[in-house]
Amino acid sequence: MKTKAFILRINDSRSIEYAKHTADSCDKVGLDWEYFQGFQNMHAQYAWGKTGIHITKSEGQERQFPSPDAIPPHVDNLPVGHIAECCSAGHASIWKKIADSDLDIGIVLEHDALMLHNIDTMTIPDKRICVLGYKMTDPSRYNHENAGPPINTLPLDGHEGAHAYAMTGNTARLLVKEIEVFGRLGCVDNAYFIRQQRKTQVPLCIANPTPAIGWLRESTIWGKSAQVNYNFIPSFQENYK
């Protein structure tokens, strides 16, 4: 089984520092990884134009996205919405990278994620986005050693955030095809994860027990990270103090 994690970071001192912690956590659990340089200092449409995905619509509206060759020079002081969209385009670019590879499993990790266990002890289901864990400000509160590595998945109807998730190569191809057919669905958190806001047709599941977390610190987008989680799965709740 060929598995690799892609760590999404940008050229920002906090992002680089956080992503190094993410990479170290992958090394600790024996997980192959590489950095993916995300998009920044550009308007959202240009970021989506760089994904390598043929996009003709945005949230149901016909739209012409620019060629990657037409990207203007560095732009500062962009509205937060454009910065968030650049992040979302980074996720989609990683899906495309997984889809075009020979990987069996691709893992997407934002720069605040920490891997606590390898996921080679479980089967990532096809045609599902598999969430790997929750967000917290103090990683030491979860006793991952006592909880143990993941052994299966549980169904899920929503999750707060895209900080750590896995998918098969087939699922990545399904997500890319969905964008090609229906267009850009929206920001990654809302369109793919948050309950009652999801627009993708690809269902969610969650790894059990929890193999990763999002370690909340200062956000590179919002200033202060959102600390909301949905109800914990039993194995996490029992080992979270």
**pLDDT, position 231:** 86
Q: What is the pLDDT of residue 136?
A: 93
Q: Where are the domains of the chain?
A: 3-238
Chain segment 92-148, per-residue pLDDT in tens: 999 999 999 999 999 999 999 999 999 999 999 999 999 999 999 999 999 999 999
- Residue appearing with tokens 């920002």: 12
Q: Give the type of residue at 2.
A: K
Q: pLDDT tier at 80 (50, 70, 90 boundaries)?
A: confident
3-state secondary structure of 42: coil
Task: Tell me the C-alpha distance between 113 and 215, whole Å.
Answer: 6
The pLDDT of residue 18: 97
3-state secondary structure of 153: strand
Whole-structure pTM value: 0.91
Residue 223 pLDDT more than 50? no
Asked whether the beta carbons of 112 and 213 are under 8 A apart, the reply is no
| Interacting residues of 205 by C-beta distance below 8 A, sequence separation 6+ | 125, 128, 129, 130, 131, 153, 154, 155, 156
Q: How confident is the model at residue 221 (pLDDT cuts 50, 70, 90)?
A: low
- Rounded Cα distance, 28 and 36, in Å: 19
* Assigned CATH for 3-238: 3.90.550
pLDDT level of residue 1 (50, 70, 90 thresholds)? confident
